[in-house]
């Protein structure tokens, strides 16, 4: 018998919400639509849907169609005294076994046999996270040993191939050609 930590990269949970709430509802499956995002989710669309970014420039392309968080973050948060479950930080896909934050820009993540997301950048956690649970922001945004800002709130991506994603689906990583471009906030 293998534990969840010993399995190859896989989906732990999927979530969506048709309205702009901080947390999303865990679902048995989600459907990704190419160039659009998660069907039925408030953040789906060709142009940016994040309310703060819409206020700045509603014509910008939506590089945040899908939000992914690694379940290992929840383990770290639990060790720091915070209880967080899938979907509660607003992610659409909770993964395990893949270091999302170490991926380069334009890495491709295939879920099962169809759905594919191109990683566009880092989520930039905001103060809303402390409204969800006080003190959580300092756990997901900090500084590394050199003083550089570290963002641990997951990654964002765009859908390049549609399909359905379910918990348990394997995740296949394809790295982009050429020198890796580090992730930056989007």
pLDDT of residue 51: 72
- DSSP letter string over 58-72? TTSB-S-SEEEEEHH
Burial 55-67 (b: 16+ CB within 10 A, else e): eeeeeeebbbbbb
Q: Is the pTM of this model over 0.85?
A: yes
The tokens 């580090």 sit on which residue? 182
User: Quick one: average pLDDT of 169-176?
Assistant: 98
104-152: per-residue pLDDT in tens? 999 999 999 999 999 999 999 888 899 999 999 999 999 999 999 999 9
54-68: per-residue pLDDT in tens? 678 888 999 999 999
pLDDT bracket for residue 1 (50, 70, 90): very low
Q: Which two tokens stand for residue 45?
A: 């669309």
Which CATH topology does 4-174 take?
A: M1 Pyruvate Kinase; Domain 3 (2.40.33)
- Biggest distance spanned by C-alpha atoms of the chain: 51
User: Quick one: average pLDDT of 5-14?
Assistant: 91
C-beta neighbour count of 118 within 10 angstroms? 19
67-116: per-residue pLDDT in tens? 999 999 999 999 999 999 999 999 999 999 999 999 999 999 999 999 99
13-47: per-residue pLDDT in tens? 999 999 999 999 999 999 999 999 999 999 999 99
Q: Could you tell me which of 104, 102, 97, 93 has the C-alpha nearest to residue 31?
A: 93
Residue 2 has pLDDT above 90, yes or no: no
């Amino acid at each position: 018998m293998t534990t969840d930590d010993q399995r190859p990269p896989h989906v732990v949970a999927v979530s969506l919400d048709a309205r702009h709430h901080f947390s999303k509802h865990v679902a048995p499956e989600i459907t990704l639509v190419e160039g659009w995002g998660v069907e039925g989710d408030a953040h789906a669309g060709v142009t940016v849907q994040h309310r703060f970014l819409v206020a700045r420039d509603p014509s910008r392309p939506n590089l945040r169609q899908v939000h992914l968080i690694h379940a290992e973050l929840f383990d770290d948060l639990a060790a720091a005294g915070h209880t967080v479950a899938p979907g509660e930080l607003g992610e659409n896909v909770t993964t395990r076994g893949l270091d999302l934050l170490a991926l380069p820009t334009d890495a491709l993540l295939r879920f099962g046999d169809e759905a594919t997301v191109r990683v566009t950048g880092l989520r930039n956690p905001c103060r809303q996270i402390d409204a969800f649970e006080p003190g959580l922001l300092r756990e997901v945004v900090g500084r590394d040993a050199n003083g550089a800002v570290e963002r641990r709130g997951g990654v964002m991506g765009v859908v390049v191939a549609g399909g359905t994603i379910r918990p348990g689906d394997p995740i296949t990583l394809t790295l982009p050609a050429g020198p890796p471009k580090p992730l930056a906030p989007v």
